[in-house]
Structure 1
Amino acid sequence: MAPTPRRAKLPNLALERLLASSGMSHHAMARRVNELAGQAGLHVAYTHTSVVNWTRRGMAPKAPVPSLIARALGERLGRPVDVAEIGMRTVRENTAGLGLDFPRDTAEAVRHAVHFWSTVEHLDRRAFLNKAFAVGAYATPVTRWLGVPADPGAGHHGSGRVGHQDLAELWQAADEAQRWDSKYGGGTWRASSVTHCLTRRAVPLLHGSYTDQVGRGLFAVTAELARVAGWSAVDTGHHDIAQRHFIQALRMAKAGGAVDIGCHVMANMALQALLRGYHQEAIDMVQGAYDRARSRAGHRVLGFAKLIEARAHAKANDARAASAALATSERCLEAAEQDADEPAWIRYFTHTRLASDAVEVHRDLRNPAAAWRWNAQADAMNPDSFARSVGLRLTVLATTHLQQHELDQGLAVGHRAIDILGRVASARARDYVADITTTIAPWHRERPVAEFLHRARTELALVS
């Protein structure tokens, strides 16, 4: 019996049309894809023949090259181009270990970080979302940072000179994204565009030439950008992606010798672990961060770490340890007023922020009287600038009332929370409102409860 002839692949007409519209030659396309791949830490050598294979013979390279082809076309066309638009199916990359590396060598660490940021921007997020948060993934990064929190040198010889103005632009981008996140949630376009900033602006600079001083600044601001990206991912419920951003943020902080930023990143990692139910692991992480950075970070940074420790102790129902950590946090904030050259990225941590979190600490400890006292101090927080924080605090107040069987007060505060959180793009906000719906379950037959549940479902897309 004669063998069945292999069906020839059809030409990729979609890619051919876009290539023609862009005005790029086959040589130019191959050259730009090689450049983008190099920035992502990939070693490829495509030629005009490769482009012919993609267009006329319908061949498709392995991930993440299709996304790089789309990016090259987007640059020339002046608009975003999706992988599907170039006639290539999204090729699934093995994401199991992507972004979880914490190499000891600085150059290797940069290569892994760049590959992660260049890849995650184009990957289908469902490839990550089918994986649960794995607190064990933090073991190696935490151990290595606690052992050696600062690399010895940060200078690099590459293409293009990096200067202080480049760093200033990155710091501005990180600051804008953090403020937008606080006001509108991590799901907004500006907050979630930090990964785009990492790949398009920070990555090319990492491949440039810079002195040790500039290099330390570059690694520090890249760490802060990655931290903001991680927190935006936490806020939108993408915890697996957030873990990877935090790990790379911690490694970049180590590369830049920025122990204060490393401590802050570790506190964020601990807060994520706390939100996922790993209270003891959160305590271990944030205590280690505080002790390692005690003589090398400002008081405000240390105070934030102690605040997260207080929250973790409260979740673990350890009132004595929670109170001690909260008191230390407050003392650190008072001492921060005397710190010179305090970094701008930690100034969001004010006494009103501490008071807001202290309300939750005492709610978890079932100490309503203390919660009310702290709430009086937290009321000064501006809901226009910190909409999410104010809304979350109101949900905590609502559940505090409900713990005391004060249904009317709890519902009234709960409605105020929805008023604010309805304009915030945040999965975490929905989780906090869901705490209210769980707590009011004993009153589910009451009409005001049914009305509250209906409003939560319709305005926050809450599943009850």
Structure 2
Amino acid sequence: MRSSIGANIRRERDRCGWSQERLAHEICRGAGVMGGPVGRQEVSRWEKGKRTPRQWLPFIAAALGVSEDVLKEPREVDEPPLPTLADYLPDSDPLAPLSAREGRRVGLRQVGDLQERVHGLRLADDVLAGGDLIRPALRELRAAVRVYKEGTHSEEVGRALLGQIGELAQIAGWIAGDAGQHADAERVYRLGMSAAMQADDRTLAGNLAGSLAYQLSNTGREAEGVRLARAALEGAGPEAPPKARALYLDRVAWAHTRAGEAQPAIRALGEAGEALAADSAGAESPAYLYWVDAGELRIMESRVHTELRRPLRAVPLLRDVLSRYDATHTRELALYLSWLAVALADANEPEEAAATAERVIALSAAVTSDRTAARVRVVLERLEGHRDVPEVRAVLDGAA
């Protein structure tokens, strides 16, 4: 046993469901120094044991709602904190080739190997959560960047490598966001956008921009999310593959929904359905869009209606989708059930909402996903309005 203030801070922050940025904000607010000396990086240093908070400890304890003794108590050190992007990429421009040195020759075979690893990581994300995958995802990203920077290759191979770096950045950014590391996820997405643009792959660049727009819309930056989602759609152009265009429009719909703009959201949903219908004509779409289908569009439609407080539209859609959903995709199942629980609560079906919420809580406990943890909080908050119902009260008390 040894004292580990940093590990205790991280444990209590995780309990609150806060990002490092949120904790820094709450500390500064409690100390009356908003926009001041404590930021995400400082919290990261404390949690890694690189620095001791000292004078900040009372404010950290107050922000987390615990005593200073709780933060000072000896405990077994857990698994090392999750890495940040800075741990894996060079300080300078990560995509600038190292022209001063002659590295090993890289050919299309190496590109193919990288492509297989990227696809394997994408398939792993279907059944595992961000907390499980963030380390291998960032290691793969670092390795891919090193191959591009330090190897020698033809223009064709260089462009193919940049494309794979872009694809890897998209899935790594998604994984980082699922692990609750939103600042790092944004950096990864922007790295991928740069790689895709250098590779002259507008479809991939649009996918990365749309992924970042989705994160912005879900983390309090709704206006930025709308602008970026629309820029992704317009930047890819009308020649984009049908599945890609459907996905861009899906994200536009969600961005407008989160911004409280119902009419453009519903309009974008309709256009997404039309775009996907065009895919039946045999137009080729990138392999990484394998998951975009009519079922995914129905899920987004149900989420939009739930967010807009239209439960009579949302509940039938969600029940239809969930009746045929792959139960091995635990995180997604928990997420979609969370939308059903909220819609049922809004439809004044508190008993059924409570039963669904219990499933959400049980599934979320089995995955290391910041997204599911956040949705559990949303569900519980919505159920509070029905606390007088015994089934609801039991769920709320159990969660507490």
User: Which one-letter code corresponds to 1:328 in the other structure?
Assistant: E
Could you say what secondary structure the match of 1:337 adopts? helix
Show the counterpart of 1:159. 103
Which amino acid in structure 1 is aligned with residue 216 of structure 2? A
| CA positional deviation for 1:253 | 0.7
Give the 3 Å change call, closer, same or farther, for CA 244–90 of structure 1 in structure 2.
same
Matched, 1:424 2:399: no
What does residue 254 of structure 2 align with?
Answer: 311
Q: What is the CA-CA distance between 1:437 and the residue it aligns to? A: 0.7
Counterpart in the other structure of 2:152: 209
1:175 corresponding residue in structure 2: 119
1:239 maps to 182
Aligned-residue offset at 1:322: 1.1
Give yes or no for contact 2:335–2:372 (8 Å, CA) kept in 1.
yes
Matched residue type, 2:185: A
| Residue equivalent to 2:20 | none
Whether 2:382 is the aligned partner of 1:439: answer: yes
Q: What's 1:63 paired with?
A: none
**For residue 161 of structure 1, what is the amino acid of its counterpart?**
R
Q: Of 204, 208, 215, which aligns to 1:272?
A: 215
The amino acid of 1:332's aligned partner reads A
The answer to whether 1:403 aligns with 2:370 is no
- Measured in 2, the distance between the counterparts of 1:380 and 1:344 equals 26
User: Once structures 1 and 2 are overlaid, which stretch shifts more, 328-337 or 373-382?
Assistant: 373-382
Aligned match of 2:87: 120
> In the alignment, does 2:310 pair up with 1:367?
yes
- Supply the distance in 1 between the matched residues of 2:375 and 2:315 (Cα, whole angstroms): 18
CA distance in 2: counterparts of 1:332 and 1:206, whole angstroms: 38
3-state DSSP of counterpart to 1:193? helix
TM-superposition CA deviations, 1:180-226 (whole Å, max 9, x none): 223121111x4541111122344134321222221111001101111
1:413-432 C-alpha deviation (Å, 9 max, x unpaired): 11222343332220110101
Question: Quick one: which of 281, 287, 299 aligns to 1:356?
Answer: 299
Compute the displacement of 1:385 (Å).
4.6
- For 2:391 and 2:316, locate their aligned partners in 1 and report how far apart those are by CA, in whole Å: 28
Is the CA contact 1:117–1:198 (under 8 Å) kept in the aligned structure 2? no
Q: Which amino acid aligns with 1:160?
A: R
Superposed CA deviations along residues 280-299 of structure 1, whole A, max 9, x for unmatched, are: 22111111111111244211
Match of 2:332 in 1: 389
SS at match of 2:281: coil
Q: CA contact under 8 A between 2:89 and 2:142: conserved in structure 1?
A: no
Change beyond 3 A, Cα 1:323–1:118 = closer
CA distance in 1, matches of 2:202, 2:156: 15
- SS of the aligned residue for 1:183 comes to coil
Matches within 5 A, 1:47-62: none
Deviation at 1:161, TM superposition (A): 1.6
Alpha-carbon offset, residue 91 of structure 1:
9.2
- Indicate the RMSD between aligned Cα atoms, in angstroms: 3.0
Cα distance per residue 1:36-76 (max 9 Å; x no partner) = xxxxxxxxxxxxxxxxxxxxxxxxxxxxxxxxxxxxxxxxx
CA offsets 1:368-421 (integer angstroms, 9 cap, x no match): 222134224423653345322222111011011111221101011112223433
Q: Counterpart of 2:126 in 1: which secondary structure?
A: helix
Task: Give, as a single letter, the amino acid of the residue that structure 1 aligns with 2:113.
Answer: E
Q: Cα offset for 1:445?
A: 5.2
- Asked if 2 retains the 8 angstrom alpha-carbon contact of 1:259 and 1:296, the reply is no
Mapping of residues 55-94 of structure 1, within 5 Å = none
Match of 2:278 among 335, 346, 352: 335
Deviation digits for residues 16-43 of structure 1, max 9, x if unmatched?
A: xxxxxxxxxxxxxxxxxxxxxxxxxxxx
Structure 1 residues 368 and 446: alpha-carbon distance in aligned structure 2, compared to 1, 3 A threshold: closer
Deviation at 1:90, TM superposition (A): 5.1
Contact 1:355 1:377 in 2 (8 A): no
Distance in 2 of aligned mates of 1:381 and 1:191: 29
Tell me how far 1:248 sits from its aligned partner.
0.6
Give 1:446 shift: 4.7
Offset, 1:359: 1.0
The count of corresponding residues between Structure 1 and Structure 2 is: 319
Which residue of the partner structure matches residue 69 of structure 1? Answer: none
Distance in 1, matches of 2:121 and 2:134, equals: 5
Paired amino acid for 1:182: D
| Closer/same/farther in 2, CA of residues 347 and 436 from structure 1, 3 Å limit | same
Amino acid in the other structure paired with 1:179: L
Name the aligned partner's letter for residue 112 of structure 2: A
Counterpart of 2:204? Answer: 261
Supply the distance in 2 between the matched residues of 1:118 and 1:321 (Cα, whole angstroms). 35
**Which residue of the partner structure matches residue 185 of structure 1?**
129
Deviations 1:245-275, CA, capped at 9 Å, x for gaps: 1111111111111111100001001001100
**Structure 2: segments with no counterpart, 5+ residues:** 1-48, 53-82
Instruction: Measure, in 2, the Cα distance between the counterparts of 1:91 and 1:168.
Output: 43
Structure of higher CA gyration radius: 1
Displacement of 1:300 in angstroms is: 0.9
Question: In 1, are the aligned partners of 2:218 and 2:258 still within 8 Å (CA)?
Answer: no
Q: For the residues of structure 2 that align with 1:245 and 1:118, how far apart are their CA atoms?
A: 7
Identify if the C-alpha distance between structure 1 residues 343 and 320 changes in structure 2 by more than 3 Å, giving closer, same or farther: same
Q: Structure 1 unaligned segments of length 5 or more: list them.
A: 1-88, 93-115, 124-150, 458-463
